[in-house]
Structure 1
Amino acid sequence: MTAQVRGGTWRSWGGNLSIEPAVTVRPTDSDQVLQVLQEAASQGVAVRPAGPGHSCSPLVPTGGVLLDTSALKGLVSVDEDRQRVTVFAGTTLQELNVVLEQHGLALANLPDSSHMSVGGALATGTHGTGLGQPSLGGQVIGLSLATPEGELISCSETHRPELLDAARVNLGVLGVVVSVTFQCVNAFRLHCAEFREPIGSLLDTMQERMSAADHFEFSWMPGTTVAHTRILSRLHRLPDTYTRPASPISRALRRADDAVLRTSLTAGLGRVGNLIPRAVGRLNRIESLAESSRRYTDVSYRVFTVARPVRYVAAEYALPLEATASAVRELRTLVDAHVYDLAFPMTVRCSPPDQGHLSPAGGRYTGWINLRQYGRRPSQTFLTAAEQILVDHGGRPHWGTLHTRTAADLAPQYPRWDEFLALRAELDPQGLLLNDHTRALLGV
């Protein structure tokens, strides 16, 4: 088979999933992707695309062909006048950010992790934070899909817009995304203000705080009564007296803070907690104290994204914004009452309504609640209880995280569900791109 790679066990980034596919292929261009799909179709073998494996839900696992997109990367074209950039889908967000900076451009909003691929981020509905800025899929104005029928289909806001809206969050079942075109903005800087405050009073005013900020998020460490709030402001709204943007001294100090207190300490405490679960509560309080207040300014992508010193699995749900604070309060009660040993903070973000047929933020202002646990010892008891709270508040699961929802639960929550299924059947009538998990999700 084209671009076949020998060997290989595939593992997810969080370590909770591993598979040994029948064959792994690593295409480098659209022609090779099409050839892989055509050969697989002729043999009746399933194909699943894979990026760096950041998703901890079983979207990738297959006993057939694993299509590794890591070599399908790089710049396709750039139009600086119209601020549009097209890249191959295996390009990581970090690589995309560097390319954009070289051309004086940026994405208006980004998720906090930059090592995932463009294609994988779109497949799962990855988002950033901020009620006034679109999620990643909302910044896509065109893409190309290789289908098992042997076609390379392009779609945009003017050509097959219904397919573009479906592909903004596609689960990897409409085709293999080959390239993606983003509508960008001029490169800009962000000012970040991080500080600690009582979580009770924060929740009382959370919606207003989110509406007033360009980008707003907070985290709460179980076993504490304080939140670590992070407010990002676009520089044009700040006076000139703030830290000089990208100052070598300020950046060096921040790197030292990140490396010592927010990376090495976090990693060390996490390893101790992994060995001695009963100590997690006390360790959480130490880590919470280590995250002191700070302010800094830098180019946007260096502020949006943060380091990931310890690998984890996550459960994340998208809730109606007005229900988010109530859900956080119930989750705090759950943790406090049952002394669950969560060694990661609960993180809360927000986003505007999305366009994608299967976007968890589709049609409503959304609060995102993210719960993280170590991949080697996630507490299923806690996740089950927490998921019920999130579902009771109208939550929809993030497709790339742990959840137990199936088509029977999900279909009523998505008004354009049937349109998505019709497009999937049109583009992949044999179900070549499905695996057990996506069949259960979609009911096909």
Structure 2
Amino acid sequence: MSTRAQGERPSLTAEVRSGTWRSWGGNVSAEPAVTVRPEDSDQVLQVLAEAAAAGLTVRPAGSGHSWSPVVPTEDVLLDTSALSGLVSVDTERQLVTVFAGTTLHELSRLLEEHGLAVANLPDSGHMTVAGAVATGMHGTGLGQPSMAEQVTAMSIATPSGELVSCSETHRPDLLRAARVHLGVLGVVVSVTLQCVSSFRLHCAEFREPLAGLVDGMQERMSGADHFEFSWMPGTSMAHTRILSRLHRLPQDYTRPASPISRALRRADDAVLRTSLTAGLGRVGSLLPRTVNGLNRLESMALSSRRYTDVSYRAFTTARPVRYVCSEYALPLESTADAFRELRDLVDRKGYDLSFPVTVRCSPPDRGLLSPAAGRYTGWIALRQYGRRPHEGFFRAAEEIFAAHGGRPHWGTVHTRTAADLAPQYPGWDEFLALRTELDPQGLLLNAHTRELLGV
């Protein structure tokens, strides 16, 4: 814990002007005493040493795309945005190392220049590589890995003053823990990813009756490369999205689709799938009784469409509308039942939601604290427009998910503590032992991570 005297302001290496830090969703903020922006591993190690000497804690921050308070601190906020870019690329083995603060958009563009891609991506490209790994960010598809599962090596600056490397052959125990690390093992400096050859995705989006889709959910997930669906409360229809992987790109490929068709798709995204959501959300905030009717209007506006594009542009979508999110990872075989109970809850209690509920899937992860650790997983994500209340609904839904063995996504809103979480993770004690080894004084902990881990 911090021992800084009230009003005392230390000066640290790579210090920049400090101010209020806010998460992307706007629901989490912090007033750090000092903000630092190191440019290399030496500066990271210096910051950790200086903070320890001053009795300060340190929390690394990426793009702020988490809705849980994993970042906030009153002491030192370590901004990783200057730790960005390519470190090395091995095209023969398809291994790429990037600095931790590289965003997924930047990563994808760098890989495209070398004829490579990541096998699977979350639906937002704004988060950093280290941040996505830290919280267990995932895409969808039972046969395709999460971000953490694509990591083959990492370099981590620890409070003891060491730059520790781990890989599948050197300290594999640490790699298993670091694959979902919550920023409590050290400050990640670089990440090595196992990539694949560049590929295209064919996207098919269409509306279909919800009831039959939920009944056959596992079969639908198993039968597609990447599968997800969204349900807007107050309606009986689902919006299904299926991504199919196409052949590798030839050396002389041209970008799929004409500039005109890509522009029309971007306009569709911006108007019907973004601005309409924002506008209806604002109306719903002023007139809550109209929400269900507005949801039906929005659901009908999402027309069917098909298109093909380079993988990372099909995986990710624009997110200009700010919202708050809670997501749970459930055993795949329990996901349909949990969804049915969730729908009954919404119908019974009349919760007014201005964003669709999204269902995705993923294979087992090896990370000790990955929400998908050791099991095929169905993900149910709840979102609410940032200006509208969400606490009551999120908490009621959490009770349903917990009863089905659900594990919270570390980067989203939840109320679980160590007492709830420890029995859910076979590798819990191993993770805590490694955390104690690397950071015995708790330099990298904040109030939230202490509560999560019970330390």
Correspondence for 1:283: 294
**What are the superposed Cα offsets for residues 203-253 of structure 1, whole Å, 9 maximum, x if unpaired?**
11000000010000000000000000000001139xxxxx98233232122
Q: Is 2:298 the partner of 1:300?
A: no
Aligned partners of 1:65 and 1:37: how far apart in 2?
Answer: 9
Correspondence for 2:105: 94
Q: Are 2:62 and 2:131, in contact at CA under 8 Å, matched by a contact in 1?
A: yes
Going from structure 1 to structure 2, the CA distance change for 1:150 and 1:246 (only over 3 Å counts) comes to farther
Going from structure 1 to structure 2, the CA distance change for 1:304 and 1:35 (only over 3 Å counts) comes to same
Correspondence for 1:124: 135
Q: Equivalent residue of 2:160, what SS?
A: coil
Q: Equivalent residue of 1:223, what SS?
A: coil
**What are the superposed Cα offsets for residues 85-143 of structure 1, whole Å, 9 maximum, x if unpaired?**
11000010000000001110000000001000111111100000000010000000001
Aligned partners of 1:427 and 1:293: how far apart in 2?
Answer: 51
Going from structure 1 to structure 2, the CA distance change for 1:244 and 1:440 (only over 3 Å counts) comes to closer
Q: Is 2:70 the partner of 1:59?
A: yes
Q: Is 2:365 the partner of 1:354?
A: yes
Q: Are 1:37 and 1:47, in contact at CA under 8 Å, matched by a contact in 2?
A: yes
Deviates most, 306-315 or 179-188: 306-315
**What are the superposed Cα offsets for residues 291-340 of structure 1, whole Å, 9 maximum, x if unpaired?**
11000000000000011131111110000000001111111111111111
Q: Equivalent residue of 2:247, what SS?
A: helix
Going from structure 1 to structure 2, the CA distance change for 1:442 and 1:235 (only over 3 Å counts) comes to same
**What are the superposed Cα offsets for residues 21-52 of structure 1, whole Å, 9 maximum, x if unpaired?**
11000111111111000101111100000011
Q: Equivalent residue of 2:193, what SS?
A: strand
Q: CA deviation at 1:271?
A: 1.9
Q: Which of 263, 266, 281 is 2:274 aligned to? A: 263
**Which amino acid counterpart does residue 357 of structure 1 have in structure 2?**
L
Correspondence for 2:409: 398
Superposed, which structure 2 residues align to 1:71-150 within 5 Å?
Answer: 71-150=82-161
Aligned partners of 1:279 and 1:141: how far apart in 2?
Answer: 50
Aligned partners of 2:336 and 2:229: how far apart in 1?
Answer: 12
Q: Which of 206, 209, 225 is 1:198 aligned to? A: 209
Correspondence for 1:378: 389
Aligned partners of 1:441 and 1:244: how far apart in 2?
Answer: 45
**Which amino acid counterpart does residue 306 of structure 1 have in structure 2?**
T
Q: Equivalent residue of 1:90, what SS?
A: coil
Q: Equivalent residue of 2:351, what SS?
A: coil
Q: Is 2:22 the partner of 1:42?
A: no
Aligned partners of 1:140 and 1:277: how far apart in 2?
Answer: 44
Q: Equivalent residue of 1:369, what SS?
A: strand
Aligned partners of 1:341 and 1:204: how far apart in 2?
Answer: 25
**What are the superposed Cα offsets for residues 348-390 of structure 1, whole Å, 9 maximum, x if unpaired?**
0000000100000000000000000123333222111110000
Aligned partners of 1:46 and 1:374: how far apart in 2?
Answer: 33
Q: CA deviation at 1:18?
A: 1.1
Aligned partners of 1:236 and 1:104: how far apart in 2?
Answer: 13
**What are the superposed Cα offsets for residues 375-434 of structure 1, whole Å, 9 maximum, x if unpaired?**
333322211111000001110000000111111110011001010000000000000000
Q: Are 1:221 and 1:288, in contact at CA under 8 Å, matched by a contact in 2?
A: yes
Aligned partners of 2:161 and 2:47: how far apart in 1?
Answer: 10
Aligned partners of 2:56 and 2:255: how far apart in 1?
Answer: 56
Aligned partners of 2:391 and 2:56: how far apart in 1?
Answer: 33
Q: Are 2:232 and 2:238, in contact at CA under 8 Å, matched by a contact in 1?
A: yes
Aligned partners of 1:428 and 1:123: how far apart in 2?
Answer: 16
Correspondence for 1:332: 343
Q: Is 2:252 the partner of 1:230?
A: no
Aligned partners of 1:205 and 1:179: how far apart in 2?
Answer: 41
Aligned partners of 1:133 and 1:102: how far apart in 2?
Answer: 23
Q: Are 1:16 and 1:376, in contact at CA under 8 Å, matched by a contact in 2?
A: no
Deviates most, 263-272 or 127-136: 263-272
**Which amino acid counterpart does residue 346 of structure 2 have in structure 1?**
V
Q: Is 2:443 the partner of 1:432?
A: yes
Q: Are 2:18 and 2:33, in contact at CA under 8 Å, matched by a contact in 1?
A: no
Aligned residues: 439
Alignment TM-score, normalising by the size of structure 1: 0.97
**What are the superposed Cα offsets for residues 140-197 of structure 1, whole Å, 9 maximum, x if unpaired?**
0001000011100011111001101100000000000000000000000000000000
Deviates most, 244-253 or 115-124: 244-253
Q: CA deviation at 1:283?
A: 1.1
Q: What are the ranges of 5 or more consecutive residues in structure 2 without an aligned counterpart?
A: 1-11, 249-253
**Which amino acid counterpart does residue 207 of structure 1 have in structure 2?**
Q
Q: Which of 167, 170, 174 is 1:156 aligned to? A: 167
Percent sequence identity is 79
Aligned partners of 1:441 and 1:92: how far apart in 2?
Answer: 26
Aligned partners of 1:214 and 1:271: how far apart in 2?
Answer: 36
Aligned partners of 1:52 and 1:278: how far apart in 2?
Answer: 35
Q: Are 1:246 and 1:299, in contact at CA under 8 Å, matched by a contact in 2?
A: no
Aligned partners of 2:206 and 2:405: how far apart in 1?
Answer: 30
**Which amino acid counterpart does residue 25 of structure 1 have in structure 2?**
V
| CA RMSD, Structure 1 to Structure 2 (Å) | 1.2
Q: Equivalent residue of 1:40, what SS?
A: helix
Aligned partners of 2:270 and 2:424: how far apart in 1?
Answer: 42
Aligned partners of 2:393 and 2:309: how far apart in 1?
Answer: 38
**What are the superposed Cα offsets for residues 259-290 of structure 1, whole Å, 9 maximum, x if unpaired?**
22112222211222222222211111111111
Q: Which of 155, 170, 178 is 2:181 aligned to? A: 170
Correspondence for 2:231: 220
Q: What are the ranges of 5 or more consecutive residues in structure 1 without an aligned counterpart?
A: 238-242
Q: Is 2:261 the partner of 1:250?
A: yes
